[in-house]
Amino acid sequence: MKFKPQQKVASLPAWRRRLLLLCVLLGFVALVVQSLYLQSANRDFLQKKGGDRYIRTLELQADRGKIKDRNGEILAGSSPVASVWMNPSVVKVNEKNKQSLSALLKIKTAELDKKIGNKQKEFIYIKRRVSPDLAEKVKALKIKGVYFEREYKRFYPAGDVASHIVGFTGADGNGQEGLELVRNDELAGKAGQRRVIKDRSGQIVEELEIVREPSDGHELVLSIDRRIQYLVYRELSRAVEQYKAKAASALVLDAKTGEVLAMVNLPTYNPNNPTNIRGKTRNRTLTDVFEPGSTMKPVTAAAALAFGGYESTTKIDTAPGYMTVGGATIHDTHSNDVLTVSEVVKKSSNVGSAKIALSLDKQKLWNVFNQLGFGQKTNIGFPGEVRGKVRDYKTWRPIEQATMSYGHGISVTLLQLARAYTVFANDGELKPVSLVKLDSVPKGKPVFSASVANSVKEMLEMVVQEGGTGTNAQVAGYRIGGKTGTAHKLGDRGYEKDKYVGSFVGLAPISKPRLIMAVMVDEPTTGQYYGGTVAAPVFSRVMSEVLRLLAVPQDAPNANIVVPTLDGDGQEVV
């Protein structure tokens, strides 16, 4: 056996070993110095830069305040939901799960592919505000890079019945229409903040601190009674269908407080799914004006009693059923010869009303219109409210003074008209109106004396009795008062020949008014358009249920209904 001789291992010179050791030591010292420098001089800067990569400040959503009716029924509330989002850079999904995700969230596969392919973003919503049950089904797919965020979704139990009052919120949770819009700051509250640590995929790995607690929104209690709201909606819908009307509005006021118990507009929309709503979101009782027609005659009569030296029994010659003023002719539906002031209102005589108005000082008549709130906003606190129009008395010609007395040449909102009738229910005192529940009866503004108001109230009761124009408004077991109105619609070229607005405003019960209801039917197209035909029955059907719902004591026998001998505003039944 042979052995190889061992080779001699070369060794470094001593100076080279020392040089190498010195370089290592210098490198180590440099690292220590750099470390000390970074942890002292640039500490805050570097910590901020590091934190920017993994520390996030997230919003803590406040719970939006509920909207309730006067009895505590929810009209708008929020429920917790989940929003599904992704980080496209870390998403890993097979074709089967992609199809399942697309089907569950009801989004197109092409749209999903587009979101997954957007690698420049770390946060993209796939679908916002899905139900908790649906979120659990998506979670069960276990798709990497798909996450969930807690949010709130607004829901509206009354649906389209109260949509014009409540409105709705948008995708960001802010109010878009109605009280959701005008009371947004009050309802929304203030969001809070929290600091968290997120990993590179966007997942929260640690909660650091609550920077600011969220402040929940305030609850809003409305004057609306959801039960009455539904009854008005049901009967108004019935009238629109029966008379094939373009639109309609109705509202009910508490006669003593001015609180709005119901406010309905048609057409309407569903705030839970506000799609295809163009032209349907207007609260027409506040945003649309119309000529009130003969519903203004009680106001003219009140002005005559208060400032013209008239009494309810003062006689006016209305024969032969028409009169000429400044080249224009005013007509009655029927010739009535001599009528008292009360009968002018009862039979809805345009000639009689015009003669009364022309005998009054025009400034005093204008003052009455002004004091009743015509041409002014009611300040009910609702978006889009308009003023209506009453021309300055200084510009009135005789024909204008005459026609305004029976509701032509003046434009009002339905809310203004209903509010004006509070003077007849409150001994001449005009009440403010409110959409929020009140704790006490508000102080009103005196316009007429109690004797004038009560005299007109008696005239309103005559309107719904035999021979009057509002017999269709009668309610079994209750004395009712009110006034019908019919007016041609005003178009771009003057009055439209075959387009009408039929209206009715009534008090119930007339002996001690508890409720005021105003109804307006826009463009009925079946050939029947008088207010006594299309609007008064809505009042009757609603009040028949509401008076009993509120347990208002009867002030008449159940057999008090008289068979109408007239149709509408004076049309004889044939």
SS3 string, 125-166, reads EEEEEECHHHHHHHHCCCCECEEEEEEEEEECCCHHHCHHHH
- How many separate domains does the chain show? 2
Q: Are residues 184 and 260 in the same domain?
A: no
* Residue 12 lies inside a defined structural domain of this protein: no
- Mean of the pLDDT values across residues 255-272? 97
Higher pLDDT: 427 or 52? It is 427
Q: Are residues 359 and 265 in the same domain?
A: yes
Q: Are residues 211 and 271 in the same domain?
A: no
Amino acid, res. 202: G
* Residue 41 lies inside a defined structural domain of this protein: no
Give the pLDDT of residue 118. 86
Q: Are residues 196 and 136 in the same domain?
A: yes
Q: How many helices (H) and strands (E) does the chain have?
A: 20, 21
First to last CA, the chain: 145
Q: Identify each DSSP E strand in 302-383 by its residue range.
A: 315-317, 322-325, 328-331, 338-340
* Residue 52 lies inside a defined structural domain of this protein: no
Give the chain's length: 574
Domain boundary among 195, 221, 247: 221
Q: Are residues 204 and 231 in the same domain?
A: no
Pairing of strands 146-155, 192-198: unpaired
- Mean of the pLDDT values across residues 538-562? 95
Q: How far apart are CA 104 and CA 101, in angstroms?
A: 5
* Residue 539 lies inside a defined structural domain of this protein: yes
Q: Are residues 515 and 550 in the same domain?
A: yes
Give the pLDDT of residue 86. 86
Backbone angles phi, psi at 347, to 5 degrees: -95, 0
Q: How far apart are CA 240 and CA 236, in angstroms?
A: 6
Q: Are residues 216 and 234 in the same domain?
A: no
Residue appearing with tokens 């276990």: 142
Statement: residue 241 has pLDDT above 90: yes
Nearest to 474, CA basis, from 504, 512, 514: 504
- Mean of the pLDDT values across residues 213-226? 90
Tokens of 545: 């249920």
* Residue 21 lies inside a defined structural domain of this protein: no
Domain boundary among 203, 221, 239: 221
Q: Are residues 183 and 262 in the same domain?
A: no
Q: Are residues 238 and 216 in the same domain?
A: no
Tokens of 103: 């089907």
Give the pLDDT of residue 566. 47
Lowest mean pLDDT among 3-17, 153-167, 176-190, 229-243: 3-17
Tell me the C-alpha to C-alpha distance, in Å, between residue 153 and each of 128, 174, 326: 9, 11, 62
Q: Are residues 356 and 394 in the same domain?
A: yes
Statement: residue 148 has pLDDT above 90: no
Q: Which helix (H) or strand (E) holds 124?
A: strand 124-130
Higher pLDDT: 203 or 138? It is 138
Statement: residue 569 has pLDDT above 70: no
pLDDT, one tens digit per residue, over 443-464 is 999 999 999 999 999 999 999 9
| Domain, as residue range, for 170 | 58-88+119-221
CATH number of the domain to which 144 belongs: 3.90.1310.10
Name the residues annotated as catalytic.
294
Binning pLDDT at 50, 70 and 90, where does residue 567 land?
A: very low
Domain boundary among 197, 221, 245: 221
C-alpha atoms less than 13 angstroms from C-alpha of 438 in its C-beta half-sphere: 18
3-state DSSP assignment of residue 221: strand
Give the pLDDT of residue 44. 64
* Residue 110 lies inside a defined structural domain of this protein: no
- Mean of the pLDDT values across residues 392-397? 95
* Residue 25 lies inside a defined structural domain of this protein: no
Give the pLDDT of residue 210. 64
Give the pLDDT of residue 15. 78
pTM: 0.84
- Mean of the pLDDT values across residues 316-326? 94
Give the pLDDT of residue 572. 37
* Residue 15 lies inside a defined structural domain of this protein: no
Give the pLDDT of residue 207. 60
Q: Are residues 482 and 562 in the same domain?
A: yes
Binning pLDDT at 50, 70 and 90, where does residue 121 land?
A: confident
Query: What string of H, E and C letters represents the secondary structure of 287-323?
Result: HCCECCHHHHHHHHHHHHHHHCCCCCCCEEECCCCEE
Q: Are residues 232 and 217 in the same domain?
A: no
Give the pLDDT of residue 70. 97
Lowest mean pLDDT among 128-137, 364-373, 533-542: 128-137
Q: What is the mean pLDDT of the chain?
A: 89
CATH number of the domain to which 251 belongs: 3.40.710.10
372 DSSP 8-state letter: T
Q: Identify each DSSP E strand in 213-246 by its residue range.
A: 220-221
447: left (phi over 0), alpha (psi -120 to 50) or beta: alpha
Higher pLDDT: 413 or 144? It is 413
